[in-house]
């Protein structure tokens, strides 16, 4: 089984690369941002709760995210493995993920971090905002908040996997296919 954490700041290209990886490796995509947006669209209580945080660019509380991921993992059968996209975003989430995977006889194979400079992230998010219909992609202040939250709360997660010898960083600037090839090489080495 291949269980990958695809890591990086907002706008790093995690969603784009995930789509290609799912197709090539037959993995299950688990994007917490996508799951929240689905709940939002369906108007569930979870969606309403998450919206307050998402609209401001803040993180949804750990326990809410962790329960949602637990639910998704236990309701996915016969998977070849998962690509975790946008999760874990705090060290507490990373610890909880290790526990829930171990409970299901699984573990993280590795984390792949997409490295993209801040100025390029901002340009990409603004460009995506023209078509994504995402409130959090439209406003400069919210974009800045999300990047700050990433630096303050999410970046320590890279250290968590580095300490386990599972961290690999890749240059996330360049052609989509070129970056995909580099990620594939890392995956093939697991």
| Site residues, ligand AMP (CB under 6 A) | 10, 32-33, 36, 53-54, 57-60, 65, 86-87, 89, 93, 136, 146
CB nearer ligand AMP, residue 3 or residue 181: 3
Helix (H) / strand (E) containing 158 = helix 156-163
CB nearer ligand AMP, residue 134 or residue 166: 134
Is 122 annotated as catalytic? no
The catalytic position among 51, 72, 122, 128 is 128
Is 124 annotated as catalytic? no
The catalytic position among 20, 126, 134, 166 is 134
CB nearer ligand AMP, residue 27 or residue 54: 54
SS in 3 state form for 1-65? CCCEEEECCCCCCHHHHHHHHHHHHCCEEEEHHHHHHHHHHHCCHHHHHHHHHHHHCCCCCHHHH
What's the rounded Cα separation, in Å, for the pair 60 and 75?
22
What's the rounded Cα separation, in Å, for the pair 99 and 105?
10
Instruction: Report which residue's Cβ sits closest to ligand AMP.
Output: 33
Residue 105 assigned as binding residue: no
Residue 26 assigned as binding residue: no
What's the rounded Cα separation, in Å, for the pair 58 and 135?
13
Residue 124 assigned as binding residue: no
Residues annotated in the binding site for AMP, as ranges? 32, 37, 58-60, 86-89, 93, 134, 146
Query: Which residues are annotated binding-site positions for ATP?
Result: 11-16, 128, 174
């Amino acid at each position: 089984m291949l269980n990958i954490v695809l890591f990086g700041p907002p706008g790093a290209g995690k969603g784009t690369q995930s789509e290609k990886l799912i197709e090539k490796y037959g993995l299950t995509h688990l994007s917490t941002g996508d799951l929240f947006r689905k709940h939002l669209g369906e108007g569930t209580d979870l969606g309403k709760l998450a919206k307050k945080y998402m609209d401001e660019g803040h993180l949804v509380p750990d326990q809410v995210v962790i329960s949602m991921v637990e639910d998704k993992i236990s309701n996915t059968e016969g998977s070849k493995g998962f690509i975790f996209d946008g999760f874990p975003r705090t060290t507490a989430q990373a610890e909880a993920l290790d526990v829930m995977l171990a409970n299901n006889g699984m573990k993280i194979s590795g984390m792949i971090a997409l490295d993209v400079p801040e100025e390029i992230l901002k340009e990409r998010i603004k460009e995506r905002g023209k078509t994504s219909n995402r409130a959090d992609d439209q406003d400069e202040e919210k974009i800045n908040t999300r990047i700050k939250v990433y630096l303050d709360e999410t970046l320590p997660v890279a250290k968590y996997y580095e300490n386990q010898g599972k961290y690999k960083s890749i240059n996330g600037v360049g052609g989509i296919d070129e970056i995909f090839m580099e990620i594939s090489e890392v995956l093939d080495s697991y």
